[in-house]
Structure 1
Amino acid sequence: MIEDTRWEGVYSFEDSPFIMEVLTELRDERTGPIPFRKGLVKLGRYMAYELTKTMEVEKIPVKTPLEETTGTRIKDRRNVVIITVLRAAIPLMEGLIKVLDHARVGIVSASRGKAPKFEIEMKYVKVPRIKPEDTVIVADPMIATGSTLVKVLDEVKKYGRAKRYVVVGVLAAPEGIDRIKETHPEVEMFVAAIDRELNDHGYILPGLGDAGDRAFGAPIKL
C-alpha cells in the first residue's frame, strides 16, 4: 500500500503484484462480464484486508484447549457501514463484505450525465443510521470526475456523523481526487491505481472503460 504524497489520506496498491495482475485483466478489452465481476470481487476482498490494518484493535483474553493466552480483536470491523453505489459497485461490495462481515449495507443509485456538465441524478437512497463509532466505506469502482461521490457523500452525511469516511475504488483520476478532497477533505481513499487523466467525455485514461457495462453487459441502445 502506497500513500500518494499529492494528497493526504490517498492510497494505492501499485506495489502489489497480485492487485496489478487482477487490474491488468480488468483493463483488457477481451475480458468478459463474468471474469470482470470476479476480478472486482477479488479487489474488494484484498482491499478490505488491507483496510483492517488501519483499524483500531484491542487485545483480549482467549482460552485455548491447553491454556489461556492473549488474542486480537479488530474493534472497528464491528462498526462498518458499506455504501454501494449502483450498479458497478455490487461485485466490489461483495468482496468487501467477505472480510467486513459485520457491516451494515446502504444502497445509493446515482448516475452521471453527459459532458460537459456531468450532472448527477440520484434516484434511490437507502442508508442505515450512522453512529459516531462507525467507519463508512463508499464503494465505487471508478473515481473519474468525482461528481458522483461528492453528491453521495453529501447525502450519506445526513444519516449521522461517522468516525471515518473511506472511499474504496479500482481506479481514480487526479481530477476526481482533487474534487472530492476540496469538498470532503477528511475522506480517505483506497484504490488499486491512480491513472493519468480524464478524456473529454469524463472517462479515465488509460482506464478500463465503463465498469458497470463491462460487469453486467452494455445497455441496449434505443
Structure 2
Amino acid sequence: MKRDKRWEGVYSFEDSPFIMEILTELRNEKTGPIAFRKGLVKLGRYMAYEITKTMDVERVPIRTPLEETEGIIVKDRRNVVIITVLRAAIPLMEGLIKVLDHARVGIVSASRGKAPKFEIEMKYVKVPQIKPEDTVIIADPMIATGSTLIKVLDEVGKYGKAKRYVIVGVLAAPEGIGRIKERHPEVEMFVAAIDRELNDHGYILPGLGDAGDRAFGAPIKL
C-alpha cells in the first residue's frame, strides 16, 4: 500500500503484484462476467485486510491452554458501516464483508447521466444510523468524475457523523479524486490503482470499461 503524495489520505496498491495481477484480469476485455465478479470479490477482501492495518486496536489478556498471554482486538472492525453503490459495488462489498464481518450494510442506488453534465440520479437510499465510533466505507469500483460519490457522501452525512469516511474502489481518475477531496477533505480513499485521466465521456483511461456492465453481463456501450 502506497500513499499518493498529491492528496492527503489517498492510497493505492500499485506496489502489490497480487493486486496488479487481479487488476490485469479485470482490465482485459476478454474477461467474462463470472471472472470479473470473482476479481472484484478478491479485491474487496484484500483491501479490507489492508484497511484493518489502519484501525485502532485494543490489547487484551487471554489464557492459552498453557499460560497467560496477551492478544489484540481490532476495535474499529466492530463498528463499520459499508455503503454499497449499486450495482457494480455488490461483488466488492461481498469481499469487504468477508473480513469486516460485523459490518452493517447500507444500499444506495445512484446513476450518472451522460456528458457533459453528468447529472446524478439517486433513486433508492437505505442507510443504517451512523454512530460517532463508526468507520463508514463506501464501496464503488470506479472513481471517475467523482460526482456520484460526492452525492453519496452528502446523503450519508444525513444519518449521523462517523469517526472515519473511507472510499474503496478499483480505479480512480485524478479528476475525480481532486473533486471529492475538495468537497470532502476528510475522506480517505483506497484504490487498486490511479489511472491517467478521463475521456470526454467520463470514462477512466486506460480503465476497464463500465464495471457494472462487465460484472453483470449487460451490453457494453462506450
TM class, shorter-length: over 0.9
- How far 1:51 moved relative to its partner? 0.2
- Number of the residue aligned with 2:124: 124
1:115 aligns with 2:115: yes
Does the alignment pair 1:154 with 2:154?
yes
SS in 1 for 2:105: strand
Structure 2 runs not aligned, ≥5 long = none
How far did residue 62 of structure 1 move?
Answer: 1.0
Taking structure 2 as the reference length, the TM-score comes to: 0.98
Tell me, what secondary structure is at the counterpart of 1:62? strand
State the one-letter code of the partner of 1:169: G
Residues of 1 paired with 2:3 and 2:150: CA distance?
21
- Superposed CA offset, 1:20-53 (max 9, x none): 0000000000000000000000000000000000
Amino acid paired to 2:34: I
**What do the CA deviations read for 1:177-210 (whole angstroms, capped 9, x no partner)?**
0110010000000000000000000000000000
Q: Return the alpha-carbon distance in structure 2 between the equivalents of residues 124 and 220 of structure 1.
A: 24
Residues 1:14 and 2:17 aligned together: no
What is the CA distance between 1:219 and its match in structure 2? 4.7
What is the identity, as a one-letter code, of the residue corresponding to 2:189? M
1:96 aligns with 2:92: no
The equivalent residue for 1:37 is 37
**Helix, strand or coil at the partner of 1:102:** coil
Which amino acid letter does the alignment assign opposite residue 144 of structure 1?
Answer: A
Inter-partner Cα distance in structure 1 for 2:127 and 2:42: 25
* Aligned residue in 2 for 1:134: 134
2:203 corresponds in structure 1 to 203
Moved more, 60-69 or 138-147: 60-69
CA distance in 2, matches of 1:220, 1:35: 16
Alpha-carbon distance in structure 1 between the residues aligned to 2:216 and 2:13: 25
Query: Partners of 1:70 and 1:167 in 2: how far apart?
Result: 33
Residue 47 (1) aligns with residue 47 (2): yes
Q: Extract structure 1 runs of 4+ deviating beyond 6 A.
A: none
Gaps of 5+ in 1: none
Secondary structure at the counterpart of residue 105 of structure 1: strand
What is the Cα-based RMSD across aligned positions, in Å?
Answer: 1.0
Which residue of the partner structure matches residue 2 of structure 1?
A: 2
Residue identity over aligned pairs, in percent, reads: 89
Matching of residues 177-192 of structure 1 within 5 Å: 177-192=177-192
Cα shift at 1:218 = 1.5
